[in-house]
Amino acid sequence: MTRLVLLGRDGVINDDRADAVKTPDELVLLSGSAAAIARLNAAGVKVAVVTNQSAVGRGHLSVPALERIHAELRTRLARDGAHLDALLVCTDPPGRASPRLKPSPGMLLEALRQFRATADDTPMIGDDLHDLQAAKAAGCRRVLVRTGKGGAVQAAGVPLDLLPVAVHADLAAAVESYLKGELW
């Protein structure tokens, strides 16, 4: 069975801007995130990003602009020896959400099918309540990082129906724990 880790983008890999990342220059990787992904790659773990990008659906960002941002993300990750095996995006605006838009599990289920991975063995590492809700709906392990919105989510209290949730300082700490088999 394929080992797979699902990641949110904003707040997990890169800074989560209140006004969305709209250009490659606005993409700022979080410290240690590229190295953490490289560690997963080196361990033979597939890495798939599942990200809501509703700025496109709301008309604040074009699809070509988003593609340039993701090309820059891949370039910056490659500088640290890291790569993404898949990058799934949902551009739906919040009022017209499809089953792919988190908190729905559509993108997570797509990634599980694509890599023939088992949900029980696949963590979703995110910084947002929607990441945890999508992970639960998909049957995945739930991991919250305190970067991005994660600190506020933890402070507000994770709803009981989403527990258990592993909490880590950042992606590097979550990956370290995962690779040691201590994530849960």
* Domains in the chain: boundaries: 4-179
**Mean residue pLDDT across the chain:** 96
Strands 165-168 and 46-52, sheet pairing: unpaired
In this prediction, residues 11-35 reach a mean pLDDT of 97
Share of the chain above pLDDT 90, in %: 95
The CATH architecture one would assign to domain 4-179 is 3-Layer(aba) Sandwich (3.40)
**In the sheet where 141-145 sits, what is the strand order?**
86-90, 46-52, 4-7, 123-126, 141-145, 165-168
Taking 70 as the threshold, does the pLDDT of residue 183 lie above it?
no
- Interval 128-139: pLDDT, tens: 999 999 999 999
Reported pTM: 0.97
> In the block, which residue shows the tokens 């220059």?
25
Q: How far apart are CA 82 and CA 41, in angstroms?
A: 7
> What pLDDT does residue 94 have?
80
CA atoms within 13 A on the CB side of 132: 22
- Interval 59-89: pLDDT, tens: 999 999 999 999 999 999 999 999 999 999 9
Q: Are 92 and 98 in contact (CB under 8 A)?
A: yes
Residue type, 36: A
Retrieve residue 6's tokens: 């699902």
> What pLDDT does residue 97 have?
79
> What pLDDT does residue 184 have?
59
What is the distance of C-alpha 11 from the center of its chain? 8
